[in-house]
Amino acid sequence: MKIEQQIASLRTELREHNHNYYVLDTPTISDYDFDMKLKELQQLEAAHPEFHDPSSPSLRVGGMVTKNFETVTHEQRMYSLDNSYSKEDLEDWEKRIQRVLGDVPIQFTCELKYDGASISLTYENGRLARAVTRGDGFQGDLVTTNIKTINSIPLQLKGNYPPKFDIRGEIVLPFAGFHKMNEERIANGEEPYMNPRNTASGSLKLQDSAAVAKRPLDCLLYGIVGENTGISTQWQMLEKARTWGFKVPSIAKLCQTVDEVLEFVDYWNVHRHDLPYETDGVVIKVNNLQHQDELGYTSKSPRWAMAYKFKAEQVSTVLNEITYQVGRTGAITPVANLEPVLLAGTTVKRASLHNADQIAKLDIRENDTVFVEKGGEIIPKIIKVDFDERPQNSVPTKYIENCPECHTPLTRTEGDAKHYCTNYYGCPPQITGRIQHYISRKAMDIEGMGSETIELLFKEGLVTNYADLYTLTKEEVMPLERMAEKSAENLVNGVAASVKIPFERVMFALGIRFVGETVAKKLAKAYKNIDAMMVATEEELVAVDEIGERIAKSVVEFFQNEDNRAIVSRLKSYGVQFELSAEKLENQTEKLKGQTFVVSGVFEKVSRNELKKMIEDNGGRVGSSVSSKTSFLVAGNNMGPSKRAKAENLNVAIISEDDFLAMV
């Protein structure tokens, strides 16, 4: 047999054995025989590099080192899920669905919500092309090299698959593997890992892929996104993914009613403890993908899916002290400092008390015994006080009147739950908080710099605002604690590289109150450059799509302040982008200004995402559902009947893909 054929044959055989062992759990060969065949393949590949294949089973053992993980944008956004905790929540969700879809039968798929690290895998022509962490949902870290070491993830697909698609799943660490890892760590005199979820998540960012390969990670897949996949339901999606070689949990159910959904939830709320993985709830999805398309998305989550969270674990502990934190906007957050207690796999020492009203409502006092749970099993919160354990000398909590950092009297406007420190330019946590926001990933994404570094730079008098970052030198930074020559160089280079960040993200980075990512994009697009925005009136700003009076007032106040104007002027002089790029402006017109489009169905000439971008580039607005404010419904193939019916009832114009392309 020719060498090339021998290598190809071994790869095919090893892929099949790998799938049988790690996905189907039905091995047909001994571990020893598998290792011998793998060793033979490695030797042949080493001797004949001309036959290199990026999807070879030999890559499972790792060995590549990644110093810095590249940040990449998801082609299809990874949304978060809305949570529900009761039958009433689910019934309300079903009613909202029925209002949009009308009186049609709705099926639901129920799948367990596994607790790990979310991942998006892209396959092109049946091969794993890239793997990206969830990140913030819009962009994540490229971790393909590490992901290739996970045996349950196919590097080469089987059967009849689409030419390109993304599949989403959860990287998990089974309990058995987690306990074995901890036994080894304890035997070596090392601290054990706290819980499987955090260990799985941390594994994805290890620099040495060989170290990742030694960890018994698994990947459970649950959703495919992409154009023209040939799939019509979520249930079919799960079945197809299995045939292509993916590990899709068999614990799933197709339900006809919410009562059936609740039966599934109740069963697994009890039996989840028998599973080999961590779970924290059930994900319920509308089964029909056409219905999903009609329901669309909110700004954060799909309207067609809901996570039913299992009842959170509760523990009691003592509240030792209430302290107060100052945020970058001056908002004061009271914090409960607790006697450390183990809760849902992590040690909890602090919990947010939110505001003065919450403290008064629960009558929370220092030295109280309190019940703590993790909200959505993530953020610790105090549920109630054990009044039977309250000390006799207990006194009610008196909320502070002055800023704990700069001692400025606090203010609280009517209708606002928070107290604020108004010393915007002199309060240290507000100053460092704004700089920390400026360098953050969603904003200027400055490499080599973190919150602790900002605190040190401020403490040493090297920065008092984010414009000062651009004057830092390596020589100034090197004397800082834990700062070597290379890290100082990386910091200065990271600041210099940030001048390439586009205008819309710079707008977000400025930290104007109420201006989040979406609003920053709207403002950048409407005004094109910072000079036009700085002279805009409240009335003009309110005329911009989705900009209300509160945001408009905040923007005007920000740019009226001389200190802010001086900082913007300095940033301009350092080359920071304060206008939309020529590339962004190139295809932008006002042809569709004032018009709202709803896009539904499958299109032939452009993808749905391209079509939405064309609407926005030409000044139009993309709506998620048909309403009286909709100007046009752009109808593709297989569009849902309820959207069409609603558009007809409201006299909304229904146009084809060709009609729309002619408009622009």
Pick the CATH number of 83-309 from 3.40.190.80, 3.30.470.30, 3.10.20.30, 3.20.20.70: 3.30.470.30
Gap between the Cα atoms of 30 and 183, Å rounded = 26
**Which CATH superfamily does the domain covering 314-411 fall into?**
Nucleic acid-binding proteins (2.40.50.140)
Give the pLDDT of residue 63: 63
pLDDT tens for 5-62 read 888 888 888 888 777 777 776 778 877 777 788 788 888 888 888 888 777 877 777 6
- pTM beyond 0.85: the answer is no
Mean per-residue pLDDT, 123-140 = 92
pLDDT in tens, 648-657: 899 999 999 9
Sole residue written with tokens 């590249």 = 70
pLDDT at 195 (0 to 100): 84
Contact 368, 390 (CB under 8 A): yes
Q: What is the pLDDT of residues 91-100, one digit of tens each?
A: 999 999 988 8
**C-alpha span between 155 and 150 (Å, rounded):** 10
User: 484-500 pLDDT, tens per residue?
Assistant: 888 899 999 999 999 99
For the stretch 516-565, pLDDT in tens is 988 998 899 889 999 999 999 999 999 887 789 999 999 999 999 999 99
Alpha-carbon distance of 74 to 166, in angstroms, equals 10
Give the neighbor-by-neighbor strand order of the sheet with 127-133. 127-133, 117-124, 164-172, 218-225
Architecture of domain 596-663: 3-Layer(aba) Sandwich (3.40)
Instruction: Write down the domain spans for the chain.
Output: 3-61, 83-309, 314-411, 428-500, 503-585, 596-663
Level-2 CATH architecture, domain 503-585: Orthogonal Bundle (1.10)
Residue pair 140/133 in contact by the 8 Å Cβ criterion: yes
- Mind listing the pLDDT tens digit for each residue in 202-256? 999 898 888 899 999 999 999 999 877 889 999 999 999 999 999 999 999 999 9
Separation of alpha carbons 338 and 316, rounded Å: 10
Helix (H) or strand (E) holding 623, with range, is: strand 621-623
Question: Residue 84 has what DSSP assignment?
Answer: E
Of residues 365 and 482, which shows the higher confidence score? 365
For residue 153, the number of C-alpha atoms closer than 13 Å in the C-beta half-sphere is: 32
Instruction: Supply the pLDDT for residue 578.
Output: 96
Q: Which of 2, 87, 113, 384 is catalytic?
A: 113
| 129 dihedral zone (left: phi>0; alpha: psi -120 to 50; beta) | alpha
CATH fourth-level superfamily of 428-500 = 5' to 3' exonuclease, C-terminal subdomain (1.10.150.20)
CA distance 451 to 440: 9
**404: helix, strand or coil:** coil
Cα 332 from chain centre:
26
Q: Which has more pLDDT, 294 or 401?
A: 401
pLDDT on residue 387: 95
322, 313 contact by CB (below 8 A): no
For residue 375, pLDDT over 70 is answered with no
Mean pLDDT computed over every residue of the chain: 90
Name which of 662, 619, 598 is nearest 296 in CA terms: 598
The CATH code for residues 3-61 is 1.10.287.610
Mean pLDDT of the region 268-282: 91
At 560, which helix (H) or strand (E)?
helix 549-560
The sign of the torsion formed by the CA atoms of 290, 296, 297, 298 equals: negative
113 carries an active-site annotation:
yes
* Residue that the structure tokens 């060969």 belong to: 29
Residues 41, 56 contacting (CB under 8 angstroms)? yes
67 vs 10 pLDDT, higher one = 10
Q: State the helix-helix crossing angle for 549-560 and 562-573, rounded to 10 degrees.
A: 80
Instruction: Give yes or no on whether 3-61 and 428-500 have one common fold.
Output: no
